Amino acid sequence: MTNLVERIVKADGNGFIHGGVLPKSSRYVSHFIEDGVRRSTRMRIQAKSRSIGRPLKSHTDLWTIYEKGWSSEGWVFLAPMIKDAAPVLLEQKSLFGEDFNENDTAFEFLQDAVNVVRTGMEDSERFDADLLLDFRMRSASTSGVSEIKLLGVDRSDTQPADELLRANADALLSKIPDPQLVRLVGKLDMVKSSNSNFELLLTDGTRLKGVWQGEDIGALGSFWDQDVTLDGVMVYKPNGKPLRIEGRSIRPPQERDLAFVPSRLNKPSQSLEIPKGVLTIGQLRGTWPGNETDEEIEEFFERVR
């Protein structure tokens, strides 16, 4: 891989003494950076910070970083730019959002996520619950690290990872509604096999971003631009708006299909218009604790078909 660029990580705390660093503090900073660049990059290109199946090499190249050594400013890392690590993905610029630059690295994606979490932005697509868990930094007394700064990132706002980040990560986590099992009817408006993403267009014009969790992303292709019934799990932002739907099965709508609609999408201002012949069962709602197996979830959907 060519054109690796330097990004510097500076850390402070009681684990940094007399020009040296305690092993526990060094490990903590390394884990924070490695996990942070990987998860924030996944959020950027897949809308989900945890792994979705086996990652493509074009994805892993994006968050592969190398520790070069020390300088007077801190840890020196080397990272590839988007244009070099994922030229094919770069052709789909919508994957990265509106505010990206082809010279960005995974460190810029991490900085973006730190910025929105540290400022407590509830309506952001830069994080999910799993990334917030990473940002719940261990206390300075435990890790010996009170602050982590990214230097050299191509951003005008470079907020540090510190106690405020931890506090706001906790606050945002507490506001995220529980995921819900859903059954929705709409038009499959977009499918991207490169990142397992899709969009479901509901009849009222609402667009829902989705991440395919089924076995074969190719199963979506045959349904493109068609009305479908989609079973999955709705994941929310801290403000209660949908972040993504994790699709598990898809099929053509049936005459008396069920629309298992999350109550948070069923407000008067966001009411879902269900196609003719499809029933909305308002009582059929529930929360998903997050510890069911795939088999248990599939069994649930079979019961309500």
Query: Mean pLDDT score of the chain, rounded to an integer?
Result: 79
Residue 34 has pLDDT above 90, yes or no: yes
Residues 142 and 218 in one domain: no
Rounded average pLDDT over 68-87: 86
Residue with tokens 């199963």, as numbered in its chain: 219
* Residues 90, 82: Cα–Cα separation, whole Å: 7
Do 297 and 196 have their domain in common? yes
Q: Pairing relation of β-strands 242-251 and 207-212?
A: parallel
Give pLDDT, residue 136: 84
What pLDDT is stored for residue 177 in this prediction?
Answer: 93
Domain boundary among 132, 153, 175: 175
Q: Are residues 133 and 247 in the same domain?
A: no
Q: What is the pLDDT of residues 121-165, one digit of tens each?
A: 999 999 999 999 989 877 777 889 999 999 989 888 999 999 999
Residue 292 shares a structural domain with residue 186: yes
Whether 102 and 124 share a structural domain: yes
Residue 196: CATH number of its domain: 2.40.50.320
**Domain boundary pick from 175, 200, 223:** 175
249 and 145 within one domain: no
**pLDDT tens track for 177-223:** 999 888 888 899 888 766 788 999 987 788 899 998 876 777 788 88
Q: What is the structure's pLDDT at 158?
A: 93
- Specify the number of domains making up the chain: 2
Task: Answer yes or no: do 39 and 68 share one domain.
Answer: yes
Compute the distance between CA of residue 52 and CA of residue 244 in angstroms, rounded to an integer.
14
Same domain (yes/no): 30, 117? yes
Q: Which of 121, 129, 98 is nearest to 239 (CA)?
A: 121
Q: Which residues, at least 6 apart from 203, have a Cβ–Cβ distance to it below 8 Å?
A: 185, 186, 272, 273, 274, 275
* Structure tokens that stand for 92 in this block: 């789909």
Q: Which two tokens stand for residue 283?
A: 């009582």
Average pLDDT over residues 266-295: 41
- The answer to whether residues 153 and 42 belong to one domain is yes
Instruction: Classify the phi-psi angles of 92: left when phi > 0, otherwise alpha if psi is within -120 to 50, otherwise beta.
Output: beta
Q: Exposure of 57 by Cβ count < 10 A (0-12 exposed, 13-18 middle, 19+ buried)?
A: exposed
Phi, psi at 48, each rounded to 5°: -155, 125
Expressed as residue numbers, the domain containing 150 is 4-175
Judged by average pLDDT, the poorest of 18-27, 62-71, 273-282 is 273-282
Looking at 175, 190, 206, the residue that finishes a domain is 175
Q: Which of 41-50, 98-107, 263-272, 294-303 has the lowest mean pLDDT?
A: 263-272
* pLDDT for the residue 278: 33
Whether residue 289 has pLDDT greater than 50: no
- Residues 188, 170: one domain? no
200 with 126, same domain? no
Residue 167 shares a structural domain with residue 189: no
